[in-house]
């Protein structure tokens, strides 16, 4: 039908296409405006936190919604020179890195087995992991706390790391499996002709090919661990083992009168996750594409 | 998928995969392989599977499945968390939960958040994703900025919004300044407003996640479809409405599922902004905050476990109903279809 239309009136076929372009240009100003407005609303609270760190308490009390009249770096400098802040950054970093490394390693191995081997119970095991998506930590936290306590891991980062690995596995496996299943069999045949076994194929071919998906699950695991609140709240009672979220909250209640310093502490604590995410944002969307399509 | 994935190990696949319908039937005797060799290959595969799957399964079962099972067991006891539970109380914990008005309130708040999140976040996130999927200036910068709230921790969000919205906070200050002083309110502690405040903060925090998912879904839609429709004279909106939206169906339904489950388990933001005591007076308590304040914080681990079981059963029921009626068409493709 289109073909005939274009054949009979070559220009007529083009005309309707041109007018939407025209309206698009008109509407793109509106679209841009709406976009700016939404982004402003998204960022306002974050900007409030960052700018608030540059103000003095007196200013904040008199005019809570104003800009800093004098940029005052002391709040930030105080936080950055305090051992408490860096101790918490260190704890958070250890927890996040360990969680990420183990989730990626265990998840890759399991996803490889589940997507490229055929064996009895494969479907059941996959279903078990997917069911894990339905158990967020909230449901398990009370017995999990008892379990961690009985293992003697209270007030230790390991007590946070191991459960985090377990709870991050389902999503990791669900994202990685389709990715690994999509690696063409011809590749495996070719490498087996070249003398590579199944595990050799895993090391030499699958790992390099899986990098995009690995980056996606790695970032998700890292950011989730960095921001995790409920589990550390239950497991870590000793200030020396506090991760950044717990530390930030403790700081806020300890210095609740010193709003400016609380705001400075808060804005510094969000930097690492933000940096990490903005560097890899494109990868996350790309890596999820396969998973969402299935 | 019926292709045999391991050409090298055809014989053992034949053995290991005997139960699989697609491979079970034509079990031809593998050409020229001795049974001993076949058996050895079979054991090798089992060994490999144990190495590959073992660690993940052990960690997952002992820290995810076991606690959930333990919760079901502890839930029948009155237990302070020390020693082994001995004071068996049968279903008394459950009767107490189900007749406690405080739990009913919490459940109501969860229901409000479930529906409110779907209604607010869904359309907004879809619009944002469509917007961000268009080619525009500073596109990648805008994308990163949209995700900022999703990436920062609940503690930062809670503290920031808490200071922003407290009665002497920046929002009331701003309203005063622009001459809308009459609109000043106690956003956090006024029971008539608090739950709406919570809903707005949740929307702000989690919309980035919906946008990421939707963007990923949009990238999976071939551009040829929209181009073909444009050639046929379809307008931008017609294309979005009749081509993009139906194709986004599976992504939207998966997002809605995750959003519902997340809303039912809501804890962090409420606990950080309102805390244990204010949450119940301001009307923002959730099942999870009820569980922690009446469970661990009250030293009643049996009771807390029972609340966890109730939460789990509610989530499970919702999930099953959703899977049965909404996700039916997609489950083959998205949630379980990864390895099919």
Beta bridge partners of B87: B78
Token pair belonging to B338: 């990864």
The reply to whether residue B60 touches residue A117, judged by beta carbons under 8 angstroms, is no
- The H-or-E segment that residue A100 falls in is helix A83-116
Considering the domain boundaries, does residue B159 fall inside one?
yes
Three-class secondary structure of residue A153 per DSSP: coil
pTM: 0.80
**Rounded distance, CA A163 to CA A144, Å?**
8
The reply to whether residue B339 touches residue A140, judged by beta carbons under 8 angstroms, is no
Considering the domain boundaries, does residue B152 fall inside one?
yes
List the single best residue of B20, B80, B151, B318 to mutate versus A (max A Cβ within 10 A). B151
Q: How close does chain B come to A24, measured CA to CA in Å? A: 8
Beta bridge partners of B78: B87
Considering the domain boundaries, does residue B252 fall inside one?
yes
Dihedral angle, C-alpha A102, A108, A109, A111, nearest 10 °: 130
Whether the CB of A187 is below 8 Å from some CB of chain B: the reply is: no
* Complex ipTM value: 0.80
- Select the residue of A24, A267, A284 nearest B236 (Cβ to Cβ): A24
Average pLDDT taken over every residue of chain B: 78
Considering the domain boundaries, does residue B35 fall inside one?
no
pLDDT at B137 (0 to 100): 66
Which chain B residues are within 8 Å of A117, Cβ to Cβ? Answer: 5-6, 16, 45, 48-49, 52
**Rounded distance, CA A223 to CA A130, Å?**
21
Domain containing residue B213: 102-339
**Rounded distance, CA B302 to CA B143, Å?**
46
Give the HSE-up count for residue A49: Cα atoms under 13 Å, Cβ half-sphere. 26
User: How many CB pairs below 8 Å do chains A and B form together?
Assistant: 338
pLDDT at A106 (0 to 100): 92
Which chain A residues are within 8 Å of B152, Cβ to Cβ? Answer: 46, 227, 270, 273-274
State the Rg of chain B over Cα.
27
The reply to whether residue A61 touches residue B168, judged by beta carbons under 8 angstroms, is yes
Q: CATH number for the domain including B253?
A: 1.10.3720.10
- pLDDT, one tens digit per residue, over B97-130 is 888 888 999 999 999 999 999 999 999 888 888 8
Core vs surface per residue B144-181: b (16+ CB within 10 A) or e: bbbbbbbbbbbbbbbbbbbbbbbeebbbbbbbbeeeee
- pLDDT, one tens digit per residue, over A4-53 is 333 333 333 333 443 344 445 566 677 778 777 877 888 888 888 888 88
Q: How close does chain B come to A139, measured CA to CA in Å? A: 5
Quote the number of domains for chain B: 1
Which chain A residues are within 8 Å of B311, Cβ to Cβ? Answer: 138-139
Least confident of A204-208, A273-277, B94-98, B268-272: A273-277
Which chain A residues are within 8 Å of B308, Cβ to Cβ? Answer: 138-143
Which chain B residue has the Cα nearest residue A53?
Answer: B160
Please give the share of chain B, as a percent, with pLDDT higher than 90. 13
Three-class secondary structure of residue A237 per DSSP: coil
Token pair belonging to B15: 């053995």
**Rounded distance, CA A51 to CA B156, Å?**
14
Using CB atoms within 10 Å of the CB of residue B184, give its burial: 0 to 12 exposed, 13 to 18 middle, 19+ buried. middle
Evaluate whether B292 touches B270 at the Cβ level (below 8 Å).
Answer: no
**Rounded distance, CA A26 to CA A232, Å?**
51
Give the HSE-up count for residue B143: Cα atoms under 13 Å, Cβ half-sphere. 26
**Rounded distance, CA A232 to CA A225, Å?**
10
Number of Cβ within a 10 Å radius of residue A278? 17
Residue B31 sits at the vertex; the CA angle it makes with B28 and B33, to the nearest 5 degrees, is 110
Interval A233-244 mean pLDDT: 88
> Quick check: A3 pLDDT over 50?
no
Considering the domain boundaries, does residue B222 fall inside one?
yes
Please give the share of chain A, as a percent, with pLDDT higher than 70. 86
Whether the CB of A75 is below 8 Å from some CB of chain B: the reply is: no
């Amino acid at each position: 039908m289109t073909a005939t239309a274009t054949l009979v009136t070559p220009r007529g076929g083009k005309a309707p296409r041109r007018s939407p372009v025209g309206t698009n240009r008109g509407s793109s100003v509106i679209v841009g405006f709406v976009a700016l407005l939404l982004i402003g609303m998204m960022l306002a609270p974050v900007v409030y936190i960052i700018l608030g760190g540059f103000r003095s308490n007196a200013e904040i009390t008199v005019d809570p919604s104003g800009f800093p009249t004098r940029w005052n770096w002391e709040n930030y400098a105080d936080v950055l020179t305090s051992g408490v802040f860096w101790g918490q950054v260190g704890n958070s970093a250890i927890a996040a890195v360990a969680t990420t490394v183990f989730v990626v390693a265990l998840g890759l191995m399991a996803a490889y087995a589940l997507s490229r081997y055929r064996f009895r119970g494969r479907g059941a095991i996959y279903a078990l992991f997917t069911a894990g998506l339905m158990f967020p930590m909230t449901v398990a936290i009370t017995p999990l706390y008892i379990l961690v306590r009985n293992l003697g891991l209270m007030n230790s980062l390991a007590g946070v790391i191991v459960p985090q690995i377990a709870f991050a596995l389902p999503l990791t496996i669900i994202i990685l499996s389709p990715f690994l299943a999509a690696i063409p069999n011809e590749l495996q045949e070719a490498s087996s002709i070249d003398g590579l076994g199944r595990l050799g194929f895993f090391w030499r071919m699958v790992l390099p090919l899986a990098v995009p998906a690995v980056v996606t699950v790695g970032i998700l695991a890292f950011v989730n661990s960095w921001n995790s609140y409920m589990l550390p709240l239950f497991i870590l009672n000793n200030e020396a083992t506090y991760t950044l979220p717990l530390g930030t909250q403790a700081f806020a209640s300890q210095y609740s009168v010193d709003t400016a310093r609380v705001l400075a502490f808060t804005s510094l604590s969000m930097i690492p996750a933000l940096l990490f995410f903005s560097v890899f944002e494109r990868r996350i969307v790309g890596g999820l594409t396969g998973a969402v399509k299935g | 998928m019926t292709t045999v994935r391991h050409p090298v190990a055809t014989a053992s696949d034949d053995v290991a995969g005997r139960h699989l319908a697609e491979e079970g039937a034509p079990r031809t005797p593998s050409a020229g392989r001795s049974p001993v060799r076949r058996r050895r290959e079979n054991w090798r595969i089992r060994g490999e599977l144990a190495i590959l799957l073992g660690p993940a399964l052990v960690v997952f079962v002992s820290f995810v499945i076991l606690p959930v099972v333990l919760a079901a067991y502890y839930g029948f006891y009155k237990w302070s968390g020390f020693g082994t539970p001995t004071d068996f109380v049968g279903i008394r914990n459950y009767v107490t939960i189900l007749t406690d008005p405080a739990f009913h309130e919490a459940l109501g708040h969860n229901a409000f958040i479930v529906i409110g999140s779907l209604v607010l976040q869904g359309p907004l996130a879809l619009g944002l994703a469509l917007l961000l999927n268009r080619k525009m200036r500073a596109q990648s910068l805008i994308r990163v900025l949209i995700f900022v709230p999703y990436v920062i921790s609940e503690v930062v969000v809670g503290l920031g919004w808490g200071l922003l919205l407290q009665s002497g906070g920046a929002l009331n200050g701003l309203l005063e300044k622009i001459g809308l002083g009459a609109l000043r309110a106690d956003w956090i502690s006024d029971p008539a407003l608090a739950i709406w405040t919570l809903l707005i903060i949740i929307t702000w925090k989690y919309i980035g996640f919906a946008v990421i998912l939707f963007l990923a879904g949009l990238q999976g839609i071939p551009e040829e479809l929209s181009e073909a429709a444009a050639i046929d004279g379809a307008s931008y909106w017609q294309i979005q409405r009749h081509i993009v939206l139906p194709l986004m169906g599976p992504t939207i339904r998966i997002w809605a599922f995750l959003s519902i489950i997340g809303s039912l388990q809501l804890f962090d933001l409420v606990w950080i902004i309102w805390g244990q005591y204010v949450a119940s007076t301001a009307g923002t308590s959730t099942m999870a905050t009820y569980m922690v304040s009446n469970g661990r914080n009250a030293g009643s681990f049996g009771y807390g476990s029972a609340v966890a079981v109730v939460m789990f059963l509610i989530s499970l029921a919702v999930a099953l109903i959703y899977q049965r009626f909404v996700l039916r068409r997609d489950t083959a493709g998205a949630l379980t279809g990864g390895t099919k």
